[in-house]
Amino acid sequence: MKYDMIKVYGQDLNSKFRLQLKACATFSLARMLPKRKRLLDNVSLDIHVRHHDCEGEARFKDGDNVYRPRNFQIIIDKHRLVKDDYQRECSETEHAHKIFETLCHECVHVKQYLTNELTLRTGNLFWKGHHYDVESMLDYHETPYEIEAYGRQRGLLLGFLSIISELEDEIEY
Ligand SMILES: [Zn+2]
């Protein structure tokens, strides 16, 4: 992905963190779509870090072609990520990692949209042409698109963290 095609919106984010968010999205999509550089060069992404009704969401930008989406928004609510599942306050590093991991998760959905595995038709999601009724959190976690997103978010996070530590080592020396 081209860095100038990624924009980060949000208050209280320093320039290093903004750059890391761009690097995280770029890494995740390149990792999931190897040899698809030309496709990825046509993708634009706005990352919004703000209050939202869930921890993260990936969606098309207004006016994008729903049959061939290339322009995406990812919204991350960092305020929902300050505590862990057991209501324990996270350290600053842990909080940052949770934001990156959420971004990785949403990038999996962007990948699914780019490959048309996941499609949106008249407000309904279809996975490889099949619509899954989601009426509970259990249903949600059992959809194939969430299984893939939860299944890959950790590996993508760890891969991203290993490359940023290398980049930062390079800067230091
Ligand atoms: Zn998801």
| CATH classification at residue 14 | 3.40.390
Looking at residue 172, its pLDDT comes to: 54
Looking at residue 171, its pLDDT comes to: 58
pLDDT (tens place) for every residue of the chain, 173 residues total: 888 899 999 998 999 999 999 999 999 999 999 999 999 999 999 999 999 999 999 999 999 998 999 999 999 999 999 999 899 999 999 999 999 999 999 999 999 999 999 999 888 999 999 999 999 999 999 999 999 999 999 999 999 999 988 777 665 55
Compute the distance from residue 109 Cα to the ligand 1 centre, in Å: 7
Q: Supply angle C-alpha 42, 43, 44, rounded to 5.
A: 125
Compute the distance from residue 146 Cα to the ligand 1 centre, in Å: 5
Compute the distance from residue 170 Cα to the ligand 1 centre, in Å: 34
Compute the distance from residue 160 Cα to the ligand 1 centre, in Å: 19
Compute the distance from residue 31 Cα to the ligand 1 centre, in Å: 18
For the four alpha carbons of 82, 111, 156 and 42, in that order, the dihedral sign comes to negative
Compute the distance from residue 12 Cα to the ligand 1 centre, in Å: 25
Looking at residue 167, its pLDDT comes to: 73
Compute the distance from residue 136 Cα to the ligand 1 centre, in Å: 14
**For 52-125, where are the alpha helices, taking DSSP H only?**
92-114
Closest CA to 112 of 127, 134, 102: 127
Range of the domain at 164: 3-172
Compute the distance from residue 171 Cα to the ligand 1 centre, in Å: 34
Compute the distance from residue 105 Cα to the ligand 1 centre, in Å: 6
Compute the distance from residue 172 Cα to the ligand 1 centre, in Å: 36
Looking at residue 168, its pLDDT comes to: 73
Record the pTM. Answer: 0.94
Rounded Cα gap, residues 61 and 9, in angstroms: 14
Looking at residue 51, its pLDDT comes to: 94
Domain count, the chain: 1
The two structure tokens encoding residue 9: 């919106």
The two structure tokens encoding residue 166: 């290398």
